Amino acid sequence: MRVYRATDYYDMSRKAANILSAQVILKPNCVLGLATGSTPLGIYKQLVEWYKKGDIDFSEVTTVNLDEYIGLAGNDVNSYHYFMKQHLWDHVNISPEQTHIPNGTARDANSECLDYERLITRVGGVDMQLLGLGQNGHIGFNEPGTAFDKDTHVAKLSKATIEANERYFAREEDVPRSAITMGIRSIMQSRRILVVASGVKKSEILKRAFFGPVTPSVPASVLQLHNDVTLVGDAEALSLI
Ligand code: F6R
């Protein structure tokens, strides 16, 4: 694992955006695995800025997102689909057919999971997967206790995750209780993994995930078994490492 220490959130975002752009420059028709949440916001902002300056071209890039809430349609402001359009897709030259995210309103969520897994295979697998880190160690919506051999599946959100995501919704009751997420196995099949973390709230879990035992009770600890992981964290997130 490579660790890049950034001074603050802005520096973390720029360093991670540089790594993603390098991937796009080296392989213009690459497949990027994308994440939502607050951590990647600065990365997407930076990528949009570089695109507008003509420094990065997404015309051949394909994206697959990690997860989506069950029950939220793509035009729901709280859906991850909406988030991606708002923060990246609508601002760069990527056509909608090249962007993929699980359908949270699919009539049969389990068959949507199988289809999504087939889609990842069909596009050739993920070249670089961007991951944020949940405070409870989750990656995607793979909550503590999730088996490492799961492909894309329907996941129940833990109480901790519901509480952490409550800030985006009007009321706690509005936070969906389940989601479709790429599984740990799907994530581990990515050729390269880029983990980003910011803030003191992530310091403890970062230490446990990367320097503690590999265990399903800390899902991100599985990343210790991947042979190409880059971690970009700011000073606060890396303060215990
Ligand atoms: C988002 C996702 C989640 C987040 C994690 C961290 O697509 O899958 O695992 O990456 O919850 O979220 P933030 O960045 O908001 O701290």
Q: Which atom of ligand 1 is nearest to the CA of 40?
A: 14
How far is residue 194's CA from residue 6's CA, in Å, rounded to a whole number? 14
Q: Of 166, 172, 154, whose CA–CA distance to 70 is shortest?
A: 154
Residue with tokens 């760069």: 92
pLDDT in tens, the chain (241 residues): 999 999 999 999 999 999 999 999 999 999 999 999 999 999 999 999 999 999 999 999 999 999 999 999 999 999 999 999 999 999 999 999 999 999 999 999 999 999 999 999 999 999 999 999 999 999 999 999 999 999 999 999 999 999 989 999 989 899 999 999 999 999 999 999 999 999 999 999 999 999 999 999 999 999 999 999 999 999 999 999 9
Compute, in angstroms, the gap from residue 134 CA to the centroid of ligand 1.
6
Residue 90: active-site member: no
Quick one: pLDDT at residue 53?
A: 98
Do the beta carbons of residue 21 and residue 47 sit within 8 Å?
A: yes
Do the beta carbons of residue 87 and residue 125 sit within 8 Å?
A: no
Q: Of 87, 32, 90, whose CA–CA distance to 61 is shortest?
A: 32
How far is residue 68's CA from residue 71's CA, in Å, rounded to a whole number? 9
Compute, in angstroms, the gap from residue 169 CA to the centroid of ligand 1.
15
CATH number of 2-234: 3.40.50.1360
For a substitution probing ligand 1, which of 34, 66, 184 has the most ligand atoms within 8 Å of its CB? 66
Residue 65: active-site member: no
Q: Please, which residues have CB within 8 angstroms of residue 152's CB and are 6 or more apart in sequence?
A: 102, 113, 114, 116, 117, 120, 180, 181, 182, 183, 186
Helices (H), the chain: 9-26, 41-52, 80-87, 109-122, 159-165, 184-188, 203-211
How far is residue 184's CA from residue 99's CA, in Å, rounded to a whole number? 21
Residue nearest to atom 2 of ligand 1 (CA): 140
Ligand 1 — pocket residues by CB below 6 A? 35-39, 66-67, 132-134, 138-141
Compute, in angstroms, the gap from residue 93 CA to the centroid of ligand 1.
25
Residue 166: active-site member: no
* 67 backbone dihedrals φ, ψ, rounded to 5°: -160, 165
pTM strictly above 0.75: yes
Quick one: pLDDT at residue 187?
A: 98
| Domain segments of the chain as ranges | 2-234
Compute, in angstroms, the gap from residue 202 CA to the centroid of ligand 1.
11
Q: Which atom of ligand 1 is nearest to the CA of 140?
A: 8
Residue 87: active-site member: no
End-to-end CA distance of the chain: 13
